[in-house]
Chain A
Amino acid sequence: MDFQGDACTKTEAKKGAKTKKQKRMNECKDVEAETSVQADSVEEEAAFPPNFSVSEIKNKQRRHFMFMKLKQEKRKVAVVDTQMFIRIYDETTVNPEDEEVAFDEGTDEFSSYFNRLTNPKVLITTSDRPRGRTVRFCEQLSTAVPDSHVYYRRGLALKRVIPQCISRGFTFLIVINEDRKVPNGMVLCHLPNGPTAHFKVSSVRLRKEMKRRGKDPTEHSPEVILNNFTTRLGHSIGRMFAALFPHDPQFIGRQVATFHNQRDFIFFRFHRYIFKNEKKVGIQELGPRFTLKLRSLQKGTFDSKYGEYEWVHKRHEMDSSRRKFHL
């Protein structure tokens, strides 16, 4: 189930060409179709004697053919067994017609954004004394998020920064934490009194490390795509990401920011697209790319000591099953 907020649009043509993962999924689906057809044709032929292996066939062509068939069958089995198809059913999965959840979401902390009462204004900062990589990451992130400002931290306490941000009309505070010269954590705090999410950041790729990248992003507001946020917790996080960007995307800019959730990892990508014709889309990756994993969601603004946590990742209790995911 794909989540749609106010600023999101999805085109079917784009979806097929979007990410490498989805391309591979499509390939696998084609392979499945082929093997099913081949399996049907083989069943009509004679059965093989027992204790027979493929390498005993003397005819080279036929041996090669049987080997490729075996390989594809193995691949088909492997694809079916992969965990993205067998996820334990989560009882907190949101049913779109559920009135209670709709009321809950309609009156939560993001309601003022989704009712178009406030516009997002983002403050990006880091932990104290950031190194070059983190500084460049923050600058690139601020070009990806419109109406964002980067400030140097100067060793200030976040609890003192937050009231000042509120008085200056900021709606979001992003703090990129750095460890050993590399960004590794992100605190995303919705400002008036909203939830604070703490993520683990990994796999950060800056612009110059991207292959085949396009020119720098322009000032146009991007479209936002939120994939696979199905559970109630996923919904809250998805709404949080959606509230970072302005309500109306400027389609002239042809830019899109994607938050794709897979197995509790959120992949952020920033692309520019162009429609070559009705069905074909070309995409260019701009902007930074990073992976997030939610560590905790706290109700209220940043207060790690005395705040109440809505969800905390507890490794030993929650990571015991390989098929259970929470977002």
Chain B
Amino acid sequence: MASKSQSCSIWVGSETGILKGVSLSKQQAFNFCEMSCLSRDQEVCVLEWGDPLESEVLVGCANGTVKAFSTEKGIFTESKECGDATQGKFTGLAMMDGSLVTCAESGILKVWKEGCTDTIEINVGNGVCRMRQNPSRRSQVATGGKENPLKVWDLERPDKAIFTAKNVKNDWLDLRVPVWVRDIGFIPDSDKIVTCTGYHQMRVYDPSSPQRRPVLEAEFGEYPLTALSLPASQGTVVVGNTHGQLAVLDLRKGLVRGCLKGLAGGVRGLQCHPTLPLVASCGLDRFLRVHSLEDRSLLHKVYLKSRLNCVLLSSRNLELSGADLSGEVEEVKQEGEEDGETDEVWDAMETVTDKTNKRATEKAAEENAVKGPKKRRKVAKK
């Protein structure tokens, strides 16, 4: 069990409350949960690394608990009550100097210190959709939501936001443009922040410039953009929308560089690998897909039976060995915590197939099959 969690390089949270670990080297996916006490209110809303060494995964659930999962031991080590269901689901989790920062949909952002019971509380406004931490300056967090513009907060001075974005000018009908920030990303090596909105816009803000309005605005598609991620190579951003379209947008001119194909359902979670040109996406169609950003091809596709909410990539090499054609989904038992689960059920689990090599052989087979009947038809007409 510990070895299984140690081999997992991608962590996915699902709507049923199960934390899933996917190991691309072994071509397997594991469920880390207790099957007996599953419930919908344990739905995983956010996943975040507990420490820079990536030995702990913080899981934020819909009922307000934050659980810590140790990747080395493969079990949930602790669970903390950080609010209740009335405040809404978690929209962001962060670790800062040993204290936990949580943000809920109602706008209550709390910093929970280790050991102390007192918390710093900030109200960031109602209807928050996302809270993200600046990876270079760990004390800064950005929040945004529906009719809640982008605000950057410094947790050492929690009275007032250090940057509040201003809405763009009225459109050509002189109507106020509505605001709906769905996801936020901090551009590395600079001060800039990129957001994607529910009105299919992508905006870049620069807090260091005197201009509070967006520096760059670009539109993509006709559907709300739900997730955003910044790849290792500078100058681009990957966005996903509710229709299952993933696109790579250019940050210099705001043009679409290309689209990543394959998703059938709305994108809920998107993350780029910190060093390699890879992006992992998960969504409502119950699949986890890993695309390569260089040629925009699909590298891995894993079926994970529940609707997926969030994805977390580890920084180590994902060990992409595309030679294996089949894998298995296994159940990881919490020994001593579950009662009477049978192994036979899990040995009969369905296989998870890898797509890469199969595509080449399948395409050739398909072409031959398609050409055959077509030829027959032509002869008949004559």
Residues of A bordering B, CB below 8 Å: 88, 91-93, 95, 97-101, 103-104, 107, 232, 299, 305-312, 314, 317-318, 321-323
Contact = CB atoms under 8 A, between A and B. Distances in A.
Given A100-B16, A310-B266, A312-B265, A95 B306 contact: no
A189 B39 CA distance: 25
A97 B345 CA distance: 7
B207 to A, nearest CB: 29
27 contacts: A88-B362, A91-B350, A91-B352, A91-B353, A92-B286, A95-B350, A97-B345, A98-B349, A104-B15, A107-B16, A299-B284, A305-B223, A306-B223, A306-B224, A307-B242, A308-B226, A308-B242, A308-B284, A309-B265, A310-B265, A310-B266, A312-B243, A312-B264, A312-B265, A321-B366, A322-B366, A323-B366
Contacts of A311: 264-265, 284-285
B261 A98 contact: no
A318 B264 contact: yes
B39 to A, nearest CB: 8
Contacts of B366: 321-323
B265 A92 contact: no
Contacts of B35: 99-100, 103
Given A92-B303, A97-B348, A306 B198 contact: yes
Contact of B40 (A100, A107, A306): A107
Contact of A309 (B198, B242, B303): B242
Interface string B199-242: 00000000000000000000000111010000000000000001
Nearest to B284: A310
B370 interface: yes
Interface string B236-259: 000000111000000000000000
Interface of B: 15-16, 18, 31, 35, 38-40, 198, 222-224, 226, 242-244, 261-262, 264-266, 268, 284-286, 303, 305-307, 345, 348-353, 362, 366, 369-370
Given A91-B350, A307-B242, A314-B244, A104 B16 contact: yes
Contacts of B242: 306-309
Contacts, number: 84
In the A-B complex, the 3 residue pairs with the smallest Cβ-Cβ separation, listed nearest first, are A308-B266, A310-B284, A308-B242
Given A95-B348, A309-B265, A312-B264, A103 B353 contact: no
Contacts of A306: 198, 223-224, 242
Contacts of A309: 242-244, 265-266, 284
Contacts of B352: 91
Contacts of A318: 264
A322 B266 contact: no
Contacts of A100: 16, 18, 31, 35, 305-306
A100 B308 CA distance: 13
A107 B345 CA distance: 21
Nearest to B268: A308
Contacts of B39: 107
A93 B350 contact: yes
Q: Looking at A97, A307, A309, A311, which has the most chain B CB atoms within 10 Å of its CB?
A: A309
A310 B285 contact: yes
A320 to B, nearest CB: 8
A95 B347 CA distance: 12
A266 to B, nearest CB: 18
Nearest to A297: B265
A237 to B, nearest CB: 14
A253 B314 CA distance: 61
B285 A317 contact: no
Contacts of B284: 299, 308-311
Contacts of A232: 286, 305
B76 to A, nearest CB: 18
B353 to A, nearest CB: 6
Contacts of B31: 100
Contacts of A321: 362, 366
A312 B241 CA distance: 12
Nearest to B306: A104
B181 to A, nearest CB: 14
Contacts of A95: 348-350
Nearest to A97: B345
Given A93-B350, A309-B243, A310-B266, A317 B261 contact: yes
